[in-house]
Amino acid sequence: MSVPSAEMLETPPGYPFEEIDYADIEVEEVVGRGAFGVVCKAKWKGKDVAIKTIESESERTAFIVELRQLSRVNHPNIVKLYGSCDNPVCLVMEYAEGGSLYNAVVVGTRNHNISNANIAILFAV
């Protein structure tokens, strides 16, 4: 697996992230699958983090898109990107207890009488 080029990983000023040494990460368990690979719960610098890895070259584009998007966002309601590793290629992100937004909204609402309009209102708030 090749590493995305430095140009592809470049972030805008004001939202820097670290190049993280994978040896500094203690992987605890696989918690799911994301848009482009496996998601693991881990510890880094004493913090719970989510490690998102790509499994194949075909997932590289999604990885780069997510990296660029998260590197530009700084909001308390969006998980923080701490950095990335180049071997293996992965994102190191804030760990969100309770699972994915998809599970919270789609799976969680199947057992409740919540309309699509109410879900849209929740997202708008």
pLDDT value of position 34: 65
User: How far is 57 from 13, CA to CA, in rounded Å?
Assistant: 28
pLDDT value of position 122: 59
Please, what sign has the CA dihedral across residues 68, 69, 73, 75? negative
**pTM for this model (two decimals):** 0.68
Amino acid identity for residue 120 in this structure? A
> What residue ranges define each of the domains in the chain, with the CATH number in brackets?
6-94 (3.30.200.20), 97-125 (no CATH)
Q: What is the pLDDT of residues 40-83, one digit of tens each?
A: 999 999 999 999 888 877 777 777 787 888 888 888 878 888 98
Q: What is the pLDDT of residues 80-112, one digit of tens each?
A: 889 888 888 888 999 988 766 666 666 655 555
User: How far is 124 from 52, CA to CA, in rounded Å?
Assistant: 27
**pLDDT score of 8 more than 60:** no
- Span 8-35, average pLDDT: 75
- Span 103-123, average pLDDT: 62
Q: Is 43 part of any known ligand binding site?
A: no
